[in-house]
Amino acid sequence: MRCLMREVIHDSGDFRDIDIFPVRKVPNTRKAKAKPSSETQKKLNEKNAARRLTWLIQENFGTNDYYIGLNYPAEYDINPASGDRMLKNWIRRNKRKFQKAGFDFKYITTTEIGDKNRRVHHHVICSGELGAQILREDWDKQFHAYKTKPTTSFSHAKHLKFTRTGLAGIAFYTCKDPSLSYRSYNCSKNLRRPEPKKRDGRVSGKKLKELRADYLNAEIFEELYPGYEFVDADPYWDMYGIDENGEADKLEFPYITIRMFRKDSKYILRDKDRM
């Protein structure tokens, strides 16, 4: 059965992820569909959700933007639904402030229930043109009566930092165990959504095997994708591929996932910059 190697290239900001995998031609006689186990599918869904969120963040936010945690006083009566309303109101107020100043307010949010204390809290990645103080004060002023001292705060903020591995850690944390999340992440409509690029046939089956066998060798990947610096590669086996009709079929060739970033990037911290 004829098989092509497909590259799916995901560019987001100055980062690039590449998936290389086989795409089979459909035979005259169709085989029964093959489905991965529920546990395998669950892990795959979690991994793909975190990757999609990573790309969305990297495409839309920079080092002047913020990662913000919004919490409630211990004595405050809150549940996921009412917390969701308070978060939406906070977004609405800040959107007006940003528009008045001539900026677009972009955001990605998730509401979470604490594993130990079962308390509702929110994670927000958002625009930072007006500074963290305005964003935090708008949240804290609702709970003035609960402050035990003037410095008490129910929010914290920090600038986003992009390392050579991107913001994958934040994305994984945001997409973690759905039993802790009230709902999956929400985002503003003004975000750019990076579209993947597909190429068939440039990488041969022989080349894919070579990449897998030498997956720690930065030189072979940087030669294949000039202008980009190699971060890492995952030469994992996946027992199922997708044919041209969208049906799952068992594979004879492995996948590989590659992460890279632009060599001329001005904002990505290299390992030496983090010391």
> Domains plus CATH for the chain?
3-34+196-274 (no CATH), 66-159 (3.30.70)
Average model confidence (pLDDT) across the chain: 84
Mean pLDDT of 223-242: 82
Whether the per-residue pLDDT at 62 is higher than 90: the answer is yes
For residue range 141-153, list pLDDT tens digits in order: 999 999 888 889 9
pLDDT, residue 82, reads 94
The least confident of 58-62, 64-68, 166-170, 201-205 is: 166-170
The encoded tokens of residue 112 equal 């979470």
What is the mean pLDDT of the segment spanning 248-273?
A: 80
Token pair of 114 as six digits: 């604490």
Instruction: Tell me how far CA of residue 167 lies from CA of 17, 58, 186, 212, 266, in angstroms.
Output: 13, 7, 17, 25, 16
d(CA 85, CA 242): 41
Residue type for 2, please? R
Torsion of CA 42, 45, 51, 56, to 10 degrees: -130
Once rounded to an integer, what is the mean pLDDT over residues 217-234? 96
pLDDT of the residue at 162: 92
**What is the predicted pLDDT for the residue at 182?**
43
Picking from 84-88, 115-119, 178-182, which range would have the lowest pLDDT averaged per residue?
178-182
pTM: 0.82
Q: Between residues 113 and 122, which one has the greater pLDDT?
A: 122
Residue 46 or residue 85, greater confidence? 85
Identify the pLDDT of residue 105.
98
Is the pLDDT assigned to residue 234 strictly greater than 80? yes
Residues 154-182 have pLDDT tens digits of 999 999 989 998 875 565 455 554 444 44
pLDDT reported for residue 51: 86
| pLDDT, position 39 | 60
Cα(170)–Cα(234) distance, integer angstroms: 20
Spell out the residues 6+ positions from residue 77 whose beta carbon is closer than 8 angstroms to its own.
Answer: none
What amino acid occupies position 149?
Answer: K
Residue closest to 9 by CA, chosen among 249, 221, 240: 221
